Structure 1
Amino acid sequence: MRWFLPLLFLLAACASDPAPAPIPPPVTPTEYVRTPTDCAKLTVEALVVDAGHGYLFGTHAEWLPKGQFVRIRVAITNTDNTFHTTRTTDYQLSDAADAAHPVNNDAMAIKRQPTDVTIGAGNRLELDLWYDIPLDTAPKLLRDTVCTITTPLPS
């Protein structure tokens, strides 16, 4: 009888182990790609250009620029009857020396500006784009790098 008890525990342990389930393949999100329809249906208008910021602060951080921070207030209007998505990183600032500057991710995060924007049918969205450009230059125009559209800046 003594040999039967360990055998019973061994059988119970083996019976309770189910076969391992197969590991599902990882789900990789598909990156949103703007289409020519998106480019035709979204209009971008620069409303305000505010250059010469020597520092930036928000609710959780302070940041110094390498040169100067430039804030551009833009209005993006969706003229279509369905939603369209755009990214703030698609908009570069060209300065007086024709150098292209990407959106400053740190400044955008500190000022809590979105990175991906979905605009509903017939809606208009205003947001700030923040750039870090050299001190010895001035902002000239805004360039949509995906749609190859330029937007003049107000003087």
Structure 2
Amino acid sequence: MRRLLPLLLLSLTACGAEPAATPPPTTTTAAPYVRTPLDCSKLTVTPLTVEPGIGYIIGTHAEWLPKGQYIRIRVAITNTDSTFHTTRPTDYQLDDAADHPHQTSVDAMEIKRQPNELNIGAGNRLEMDLWYDIPVDTQPKLLRDNTCTTTIPLPG
């Protein structure tokens, strides 16, 4: 009986004890992404191929029809600096033959699992696809970097 007494007292003490107050979780928000003029001078965007007239896309989890036609532009982005730089596909708009600007298609970019933001390491080159949904009665003309206010001619 004497052996059980300390165990009994310990369990009674544990039942009456109030739980320790846990501090509230801290939330940290990342600083919003901002490209700088340094990023513009150190990243080179080179369109490799342009594939117009795509009538639908199929991915691992969805298939989708465009409002007009999908345009796939394969680009190589090269970082010529000794540190990493960041870019986003939404920074590049496609101007069509009628000089109308088109942003990347959110649906097509998600279905084809293209990244929303790219961190490109020092001296690295990255290839990716930019997907646009433009009217059927027009053709792609050039890429425009909205952040750096530069134009990028398309091949062909």
Bin for the TM-score computed over the shorter chain? 0.7 to 0.9
Q: SS in structure 1 opposite 2:38? A: helix
Q: Which residue of 1 aligns with 2:92?
A: 91
Structure 2 counterparts to residues 1-155 of structure 1, below 5 A: 16-17=17-18, 20-21=21-22, 23=24, 26-155=27-156
CA RMSD of aligned residues (A): 1.8
Measured after TM superposition, the shift of residue 15 of structure 1 is 6.3
Percent of pairs identical after alignment?
67
Q: Distance in 2 between matches of 1:143 and 1:26?
A: 36
Q: Distance in 1 between matches of 2:80 and 2:94?
A: 24
1:115-137 superposed Cα distances (whole Å, 9 cap, x missing partner): 11111111111110000000111
Aligned letter for 2:49? V
Q: Which runs of 5 or more residues in structure 2 are unaligned?
A: 1-12
1:27-61 superposed Cα distances (whole Å, 9 cap, x missing partner): 21212211110000001011101000011101111
Q: Distance in 2 between matches of 1:14 and 1:31?
A: 48
State the number of aligned residues: 146
1:127-152 superposed Cα distances (whole Å, 9 cap, x missing partner): 10000000111100001111111100
Aligned letter for 1:63? W
Q: SS in structure 1 opposite 2:148? A: coil
Using structure 1 for the length normalisation, give the TM-score: 0.86
Runs of 4+ in structure 1 deviating by more than 6 angstroms, as ranges, are: 12-15
Using structure 2 for the length normalisation, give the TM-score: 0.85
Measured after TM superposition, the shift of residue 17 of structure 1 is 2.6
Measured after TM superposition, the shift of residue 24 of structure 1 is 5.3
Q: Distance in 1 between matches of 2:14 and 2:55?
A: 69
